[in-house]
Amino acid sequence: MSYTVFGNTAGLKPSEIRKLERLYRRKIPPVSIITHELAKEIAQISAELNRQVGILINRKGEIDYVIVGTFNRIEIPELRGYRDHIARLKGLRLIHTHLVNNHNKAKNSGLDQDDLLDLALLRLDLVGALEVKKDGEPGKIHIAHILPDPEFFSGAISEEEEKFFYFLKPCYVWELKENFLELVENLEDELERIKPLKEIDENKDRALLIFVKEPKSLFLEEKIEELEELARTAGVNVVGKIIQKRSSPDPRYVIGKGKLVEVMITAMRNRANLLIFDRELTPSQVRALTEVTDLRVIDRTQLILDIFAQRASSREGKIQVEIAQLRYSLPRLRAKDDAFSRLTGGIGGRGPGETKLEIDRRRIKDKIAKLEKELKKISQERELRRKRRKKLNFKVVSLIGYTNVGKTTLLNMLAKTRYLAEDKLFATLDPVTKLIRTKNGKVFLLTDTVGFIRDLPEDLKRAFKATLEELYSADILLHVVDISHSDFENQIETVEKILEEMELFHLPKILVFNKIDLLEKRENFSPQWLKNLISKYDAIPISAKKGSNLDMLIEAIEEKLSILEKPELGSSSASLGEESLPKVLQEHKLF
C-alpha cells in the first residue's frame, strides 16, 4: 500500500520519506487525542529533519494525511471527501510539531495565528502544537478547539480569543485526560443547539454582512442599514454583521486574516452560507475569499444586480439587467481548476483552458452587442413616443429620488392607479407614464422611474441609460425625499450628484418631503424642526400613503407648468375634450 507525504518534501532522503510514510500505519485509540508513543515518534522525525511534521487524524483514530513543512511553518493540502456543512466540524484533528528555539522558547512553542486560522477556516475538530526539544524529545502539547458559544467553556486565554477558541492548559501528552470523542460530540451538540433566530427561513440564503471602516469613511450606520435593506429586498436573511477598522482594505481578502477567523466562526454559529461585502470586490478578491472560506461571496454591486434581475418585468428591463450582469461577469471569468488548493494554491488557467476562456469572453461580448442593438431599438421607440407627446404639447413631470422614498405610491395616489409599491428597494424598475388632469383643467404626464442609490454601479448606469432617457424629456423634476429616513440629507445629495452627472441639474425641480406621517417615530422630532427644514429646502411636506397635502403639491406643479407654457402654442392637448383625450393618447401610442 502506497502513502503520499504532503508538503515540503524537497531535499528529503528516501529513508526519511519512508519514515514519514510509516506514520500512516499508526492507529490511535478513538478516545485519545494522541498517544505518547506517536508523539515521541513524530517529535524525533521532526528534530532529524529540522522541519515541522504534521498529521491529520480522523475520528476512528486513523492517520489520513502526513505533512512535512519548513522549520516554522506547515501548509495543509486540500482536504477532499470530508464534511463541508458550515455548521459541522470537519471530522479531522491536526497535530503538528513546533521546533523550540532555545533563544526564544515562548514565542514558537505554543499555537500561533496560522494554527488558529487553520482551525477556523478548515473547521477542524481541534489543533495541537507539540513542542520538540533540541534532543528530539517531545515537550508540552498546546491544544485549542473552536468555541461554539462563549458561555460553553470558561478560562480562555485572552478577551479577544475567548470569543472564538478554547485553549486547554498546556501539558505533556501522557497527562492528557480528555476523552476526545466525548469532547467533539459535545462541541457539535452545542453547535447544533445554537440555532439562528426562529423567524429565519432556513430555505433562504443566510448572509453575514461585512464592512471595512476606513479613517475617512463616514455614515457607517447608514451604510449598514442600507445594505441590510438591500439584502432583505433580495430575499436574504441577515444573520450577522462584521465590521473591521482598517487604514485600507487588504488587497487579497479585503479584511485581515484575524477577522477571517471571526467570519468563519460566526458563519458556523449562525449557519451562514453567504458573505456580502459593502464594496465592490475585484475578481481576485472574490476568488481568494471563496477558496479560503468555502462560502459564496458577493459584493454590493452583485446584490443590486440580483435585485434588479428579480424585479425586471418588461422586456426592456430584462435586457438592461442582462447587459449589466454580463458586463459584471466578463472580467470575472476564469478557468475552474478542481486541483486548486484552498490553502496552498495550485495550477490553473494555462494550456487549453485559455482557449475556452477566450471563447466564453467572445460569446459574452457578442451577446452584449446583440442586446445593446435590441435596447437601442427600444430606445428609438421611446424617443418616437416622446416626440409624439411633444407634438401634442404635453408637459412631462418626472418623479425622481432615492430608492424606496415612495415615488410609486405618489404616482398611484395622483393617477388613481395600482402599480406595485412595496416597502423595498428598487420596487420600480420599468418606467411608467400616466396622464394627470388637475381640478383646474391642467393636463400633464407623470413619469415614474427607477430610484437612485449611492455608488450606483457603473454597469447599471450604462445599462439603464434607455430608462433614464425618460428624464431628458422631462419639463419638471419632482424630487421625492423620505423625510422620515435618518440619512435623508445624504440621500438628497446623492440624487443631486447623479442629476449633475447626467447634466439634468438645470431642469426645474420641486422638492417633496414624503412620509411626514412617520416623523413622530423619529427621535427629537418637533413641528418646529420640520418647519425649519421646509423653509431651508423650500420643500412641500406630504404623505403619499395618507394623501396629505397633495392639493398643495398639485398647486406647485400647476404654478411651474404655467411658467413653462407658451401662449402662442395654444396647447393642442388643452383644446381636446375630456372624452376625446384618452382616444387621442391611444391613437398616437404615447405610452
Domain regions of the chain by residue span: 5-193, 206-305, 382-587
What does the alpha-carbon distance between residue 195 and residue 489 come to, in Å, rounded to a whole number? Answer: 39
The pLDDT-based confidence of 195 (bands split at 50, 70, 90) is: low
What does the alpha-carbon distance between residue 64 and residue 147 come to, in Å, rounded to a whole number? Answer: 25
* CATH tag, 206-305: 3.40.50.11060
Indicate the range of 88-97, 371-380, 490-499, 545-554 predicted with least confidence. 371-380
**pLDDT: is 320 or 185 the higher one?**
185
* CATH tag, 382-587: 3.40.50.300
Q: Percent of the chain at pLDDT above 90?
A: 40
What is the pLDDT, as a whole number, of residue 274?
92
> Fold identical between 206-305 and 382-587?
yes
Name the H helices within 422-503: 458-463, 465-468, 488-501
What is the pLDDT, as a whole number, of residue 579?
46
The neighbouring-strand residues paired with 213 are 245
pLDDT digits (tens, 9 = 90+) for 519-551: 877 777 888 989 999 999 999 999 999 999 999
pLDDT at 352 over 70: no
Indicate the range of 65-79, 264-278, 301-315 predicted with least confidence. 301-315
What is the pLDDT, as a whole number, of residue 150?
61
Helix (H) or strand (E) holding 131: strand 126-132
What does the alpha-carbon distance between residue 182 and residue 533 come to, in Å, rounded to a whole number? Answer: 64
Indicate the range of 2-11, 489-498, 576-585 predicted with least confidence. 576-585
What does the alpha-carbon distance between residue 476 and residue 288 come to, in Å, rounded to a whole number? Answer: 48
Indicate the range of 59-73, 545-559, 577-591 predicted with least confidence. 577-591
The pLDDT-based confidence of 468 (bands split at 50, 70, 90) is: confident
The pLDDT-based confidence of 463 (bands split at 50, 70, 90) is: low
Mean pLDDT score, 340-360: 51
Helix (H) or strand (E) holding 57: strand 53-58
What does the alpha-carbon distance between residue 432 and residue 411 come to, in Å, rounded to a whole number? Answer: 9
Mean pLDDT score, 204-211: 91
What is the pLDDT, as a whole number, of residue 431?
75
The helix/strand/coil state of 110 is coil
What is the pLDDT, as a whole number, of residue 97?
95
pLDDT digits (tens, 9 = 90+) for 260-284: 988 998 888 888 889 999 988 988 9
**pLDDT: is 171 or 82 the higher one?**
171
* Interior angle at CA 6, CA 4 and CA 8, nearest 5: 135
- E-state strands within 414-564: 432-437, 443-448, 476-482, 509-514, 539-541
Average pLDDT of the residues of the chain: 82
pLDDT at 91 over 70: yes
What is the pLDDT, as a whole number, of residue 270?
85
Q: What cell was used for 182?
A: 466525548
